[in-house]
Amino acid sequence: MLTKLKQRVQNGLASTATLFHNIGLTPNHVSVFGIIFALLAAVAYSQWQVNHMLLILAPVLLLISGLFDALDGVIARIHKKATTFGGFFDSVLDRYADAVVLCGIILGGLTDLHWGLAALMGSMLVSYARARAEAAGVKMESVGLAERAERIVILVFASLISYFWIDALNWSIILLAIITNLTVVQRALYFRKAVN
């Protein structure tokens, strides 16, 4: 859904990508920065009861993590640094980032455990369905409601609202649990149609 917007953002990040490249950062370095900020966001979510301002800090950290996730691909593309390992490494770190952020929200008591686990499973399976389909030669980008960009946007908006209305994150996780698993079904049906 947000894939076209993501491509525009990546095009806008070209100068930043060149700056990072010029100071010696590789796409893999930038991917590591992305997971570090995702971990910091997870800690902020899990500890929000200590300081309510962490509900503002957590989505900011999550956005920075997403920015690094976009930048690693831009650096790889513009400066011809793309490697098979780099693509694999980025994908694995993205799954860890998704998981730790959702775990932070669950551990912080910001959502019901069952809905949190359903959202976690759905998020992992959205990515797995794409990887498995593309390994079989079926392109899956932009198929489905809840790709990674959409999931981050939902969490960021809900987090900011939750500073004023704490249930916002719980409702966003319920939404994610539903739409991520629907996306898996969409991708399964799309794949079946493509291979038949």
Residue 180, Cβ density class (10 Å: 0-12 exposed, 13-18 middle, ≥19 buried): buried
Report residue 59 as tokens. 């989505």
Catalytic entry in 69, 90, 94, 98:
94
Give the residue from 67, 60, 66, 141 showing the smallest Cα distance to 98: 66
What is the distance between the alpha carbons of residues 153 and 175, in angstroms, rounded to a whole number? Answer: 12
Distance CA 172, CA 31 (A): 26
98 is catalytic: no
Which residues are identified as catalytic? 94
